[in-house]
Structure 1
Amino acid sequence: MSFDGFFTHAIVHELNSTLKTGRVARISQPYPAELIITIRAQRHNYALLLSANPTYPRVQVTEVPFTNPAVPTNFTMTMRKYLDGAILEGVEQVGNDRIIRLTFNTRDELGDSQRLLLISEIMARHSNISLVNEKTGKIIDTVKHVGADQNRVRLLLPGATFIMPPKQDKADPYLPNQIYSDLVRQYQEPAELAKQLQAHYEGLGHDTARDLADRLLASDHLPTTYQQFIQHFDQPDPVIIDDRKKDFMAFPPLNAAGELQHFTTLSALLDSYYQQKAQQDRSKELAGQVLKVIKNELKKDRRKVKKLNQQLADASQADQYRIRGEILTTYLGKLTPGMDAITLPNFYDDNKPLKISLSPELSPSRNAQKYFTKYDKLKASVAHVNEQLKLANAEIEYFENIQNQIELASPADIQEIRLELQQEGYIKRKHKGKKQRKVRASKPEQFHTSDGTVVLVGKNNLQNDRLSFKTANKNEIWLHVKDIPGSHVVIRDTNPSDETILEAAQLAAYFSKGRDSDNVPVDYLPAKRLRKPNGAKPGFVTFTGQKTLRVTPKKLTN
């Protein structure tokens, strides 16, 4: 089921029973198109999520933790100004559409009572959240500003009059009607009946329409079946249906195929369904600038490596310049000013003739000296070039490791990766005059092996450093994939079983660049053998005395 009009009806009923008469305690905007309003109701704090994300738009109570940005957005500041301390009078749905209207009672700057509407439109890429003054009908602010160049019918800008989206010419399924009876008489094939039901009723998604069609076609008394169906949304039994792909519904469909996972509330269902998908989407959104910086740095480093390798290749030919210098010195008497080339016997190669280029503006001796100077310069550059090559390759490895971390990162991990790159000087800090927030590593992700042993996995370099040198005890086992980017992994046991080491190695392989391979080498050793060289980048360690396992990547349960 998509978040259609019927599901919207059900979530509105749930939100009213949970949040009505509650007071706004806190407002935050962890992501660009998502707003969190913490409402104190029934002696509980509830985090109400309003999402205008084009891929995952919804309204729900969430228990998923969010990390707020260091600097609140203008939209956040506006919401706080107008809604902080406001009382939620009620939540209602507009018709049977995917539009939810929350009515707040608060006071204006003069202390007079005023009602504000927070309107959430759950419409894919057209989703939006608007704060509207009920009395004037004027928009105070929207999470997405939509000008006349984007929509000629509706302006969604501060100060504009709020206009509802155009209403579809369809029947409200909650009002008395007999449309379904006529359609059942005309269409006996479930897919076609579902299509016709969608065409005639407002807010009917594909999955909901198909379930209603199945129930009507199997019914002996259509009015009773229809009423029971729509009443289900006031007393839902939320389920996720796992059949090749996961779907969610407000209650089990008549012809459910696949495994059913039940939830106590619709919000709990949405948390479970969207958490991983939305998390990945948010991570990519937050990682945009980070990935751009990494891509540019990798491009520069790879270009530098290519140039340095060419310099080494040139240096490997340095002896050719020395030989030419010596031959010219030996036959100096044969050179005359103004010559641009000369062919002389090469006594290093059986006196075979060797053509040597000359600079006509230089004297014979200066031409010979020019080759010796070139030779000396190339030989002297080898040590410097090798050192620069080592640094460039180390930086490439560092950025490739961060790329790997981003693929499995949560939004909190992305924030820390960004802070790390700021600390290393790759991303410029904003607000230079202000005190910068201290870079702190969050806790690593925790897993359990089959015998219950705790295994910790660092999800970014700041976590990796803290895990390896602060959290891990000296005799606990540390793991890392061999010679490729990956997470630091620690078994919280000084004498783990072979099975535990194997499972932890599989986990280390999963959180690495080799996660798509079938045979990944993983090093393991006591944490006390780890060393961090002076000046090394975050996440870089050296070690000795390791053992190696070859495993197939596998993620354990948390």
Structure 2
Amino acid sequence: MPLDGLFTHALVHEFNEKLVGGRITKVHQPYANEIVLVVRQNGQNYPLLLSAHPTYARAQITYIPYENPQTAPNFVMFLRRYLEGAKLQKIEQVANDRMINFYVNARDELGDVQEIRLTIEMMGRHSNIFLVRESDARILELIKHVPADQNRVRSLMPGARYILPPEQHKLNPFTNDLTDLATMILDQPVEAWPAFIQATYQGFSQDSAKALTRAIDTTGDRIQHAKNWLAAFDQPKPTLFHSDKGNLSYAAIDWLQDFATKQHFDSLGIMLDAYYVGKAERERVNQQAGSLVRVVKNELKKNNTKKKKLLATLTDAENADALKVMGDLLITYPHLVTKGMTSVAIENYYDNNKLLNIPLDPKLNGLKNAEKYFNKYRKLRTAVNYVNTQLALTTAEIDYFNNIVAQLEVASPKDVADIRIELMNGGYIRTTKKSKQKPKISKPDRFESSDGTLIEVGKNNLQNERLSLKQADRRDIWLHVQKIPGSHVIIHSPQPSETTLLEAAKLAAYYSKARQSANVPVDYLPAGKLRKPNGAKPGFVIFEGQQTLYVTPEPDLIARLKIKS
């Protein structure tokens, strides 16, 4: 079920139960198109996420902790001015559409009370969030400014009068009788019902129309079936459906649908977290990490090309002795060569006098050709040490960037910022901005094992280094997949139980390049045995005396053990 008007109806019902009467204590804008209002009600904080994302627009109470930017954007500064400290008076849906109004009473500059409305329109790429003064419907600010040449229907700029999107002239199924539905049942075949429902009633997606059709295409009073089906949205039963192919879909109620398995949740917010946590987070990471991915790919391409050339040089160096033999033979029998010859066959006294065909430079005589072979021999022999040194450095660079690739694959948006700082510090990304403020490194992900032991997982090299070499106790247990790029994992216990050790090893395997593999080797030892070589990249450590576990990553374990806040 996409987020249509019916689902929005259920959301508003949940919001009214949990949020109305609460006070807005904090306002954040973690991402460009999304805000979080923290509403405190009955001694509990409810983070309300309002997203105008073009693909994942939604409103929900979220339990996922969001990392906030160090500098607040202009829009959130406006919201804080009008909303922080205000009581949420009422929440209403607009005509069973994908629009929700949140009303508060705030004081203006003169201290007079004025009604302020926060409106979210969840309409794909046209999604937006408005702060509106209710008395004159003036837009005080909005999260997306849209110039007049991009929207000629209504003005979407601060100071303009807020106008609703164009009306669709459909009936609200929750406030109108179902006379038209009764007529449809009599006059049209069942296969035509979904299209009729969508064309007649506001807020029906294709999936919702098909679900209502299934509900009323039964014996008994069909109109009463329809009324009962609609009434269920006032008592939501959030359900996540898993198909045979692994696809996910969701609904506000447990309606009839083809699925392999289904999962019920206590609230719509918890269900939406489960549905969107991978999709929305991955989208955010892709947006933020696009430039980083290009940098990493370019560096990998450059170093892989360099490695091929170095290996080719080493192969030539292995044949250097053959060049010396040719030079020796030419200097021994120079009379066999005259200018203009392109090759000569000479008995090789190093190999039982077998004839050896030696290529020649036709412009040179025998002695000069011999000298040319000796020069090539000396250069290759001299180059071996340099090439081996460069080969080691290049291989280390390739390993480093493969590690970055693995980190980006499991990164959250806060991790992307750390990786960007690391690449800037390493000189891989140029920057002209010089900030006196020291960059803030995000915290590792925290998990609690089945027996209550704290486990931390570094998601990038800066986190890994700080976690393993600075924060961990020497007796804490450190884990890492064997010889594969991955995260550092710390069990904050010197003697963890076997269950905790296995769970931590599975975390290490999941947050690595081997997350899709089975029977992954994971090394572990006390953190005090780790050493960082001088000049090594961030997060690089050496160790000995480790033990090894073999585990298979379990994605479900991540959600089960992760500490939400």
TM-score, normalization by structure 1: 0.84
2:393 aligned residue (391, 394, 397): 391
Using the alignment, how far apart are the partners of 2:271 and 2:356 within structure 1?
Answer: 85
**CA 1:442/1:500 → structure 2, altered by over 3 Å: closer, same or farther?**
closer
Residue deviations 1:411-438 (CA, integer Å, cap 9, x gap):
2222322232233232334632x22433
**CA 1:80/1:498 → structure 2, altered by over 3 Å: closer, same or farther?**
closer
Question: Counterpart of 2:463?
Answer: 463
Report the CA distance between 1:203 and its aligned residue: 0.3
Using the alignment, how far apart are the partners of 2:334 and 2:340 within structure 1?
Answer: 12
**CA 1:255/1:532 → structure 2, altered by over 3 Å: closer, same or farther?**
closer
Q: Does 1:303 align with 2:302?
A: no
Stretch of structure 1 that moved more, 314-323 or 301-310: 314-323
* Superposition map of 1:282-301 within 5 A: 282-301=284-303
> Given residue 238 of structure 2, which amino acid in structure 1 is its aligned partner?
V
> Given residue 458 of structure 2, which amino acid in structure 1 is its aligned partner?
G
Question: Counterpart of 1:552?
Answer: 552
Residue deviations 1:127-167 (CA, integer Å, cap 9, x gap):
22234555666655543344566555455445666543322
**CA 1:113/1:527 → structure 2, altered by over 3 Å: closer, same or farther?**
closer
> Given residue 545 of structure 2, which amino acid in structure 1 is its aligned partner?
G
Q: Give SS of 2:101's match.
A: strand
Question: Counterpart of 2:443?
Answer: 442
Q: Give SS of 1:95's match.
A: coil
Residue deviations 1:294-327 (CA, integer Å, cap 9, x gap):
1121111111111211221222222233233333
Residue deviations 1:193-239 (CA, integer Å, cap 9, x gap):
34432221110234443444444445755665555544444x42342
Using the alignment, how far apart are the partners of 2:263 and 2:554 within structure 1?
Answer: 25
* Superposition map of 1:103-502 within 5 A: 103=103, 105-106=105-106, 117-132=117-132, 139=139, 141-147=141-147, 150-151=150-151, 153-154=153-154, 156-158=156-158, 162-177=162-177, 178-186=179-187, 189=190, 192-218=192-218, 220-221=220-221, 226-233=226-233, 235-244=234-243, 246-253=248-255, 259-263=262-266, 265-332=267-334, 341=342, 343=344, 345-347=346-348, 348-349=350-351, 350=353, 352=355, 354-358=357-361, 360=363, 367-429=369-431, 431-432=433-434, 434-448=435-449, 455-495=455-495, 501-502=501-502
Report the CA distance between 1:168 and its aligned residue: 1.6
Stretch of structure 1 that moved more, 167-176 or 67-76: 67-76
Q: Does 1:96 align with 2:96?
A: yes
8 Å contact 2:344–2:358 — kept in the other structure?
A: yes
Report the aligned-residue RMSD: 3.6
Q: Does 1:59 align with 2:50?
A: no
Using the alignment, how far apart are the partners of 2:550 and 2:458 within structure 1?
Answer: 21
> Given residue 460 of structure 2, which amino acid in structure 1 is its aligned partner?
N
8 Å contact 1:188–1:217 — kept in the other structure?
A: no
**CA 1:472/1:87 → structure 2, altered by over 3 Å: closer, same or farther?**
closer
Using the alignment, how far apart are the partners of 1:310 and 1:38 within structure 2?
Answer: 61
Q: Give SS of 2:433's match.
A: coil
Using the alignment, how far apart are the partners of 2:441 and 2:410 within structure 1?
Answer: 20
What's the % identity of the aligned pairs? 45
Using the alignment, how far apart are the partners of 1:499 and 1:105 within structure 2?
Answer: 53
8 Å contact 1:237–1:262 — kept in the other structure?
A: no
Report the CA distance between 1:554 and its aligned residue: 3.0
Residue deviations 1:23-54 (CA, integer Å, cap 9, x gap):
65543321122122345666665433210123
8 Å contact 1:312–1:385 — kept in the other structure?
A: yes
8 Å contact 1:238–1:269 — kept in the other structure?
A: no
Question: Counterpart of 2:48?
Answer: 48
> Given residue 236 of structure 1, which amino acid in structure 2 is its aligned partner?
Q
8 Å contact 2:10–2:236 — kept in the other structure?
A: no
**CA 1:327/1:80 → structure 2, altered by over 3 Å: closer, same or farther?**
farther
Report the CA distance between 1:540 and its aligned residue: 1.7
8 Å contact 1:505–1:551 — kept in the other structure?
A: yes
Using the alignment, how far apart are the partners of 1:295 and 1:16 within structure 2?
Answer: 49
> Given residue 445 of structure 1, which amino acid in structure 2 is its aligned partner?
R
Unpaired runs of 5+ residues, structure 2, are none
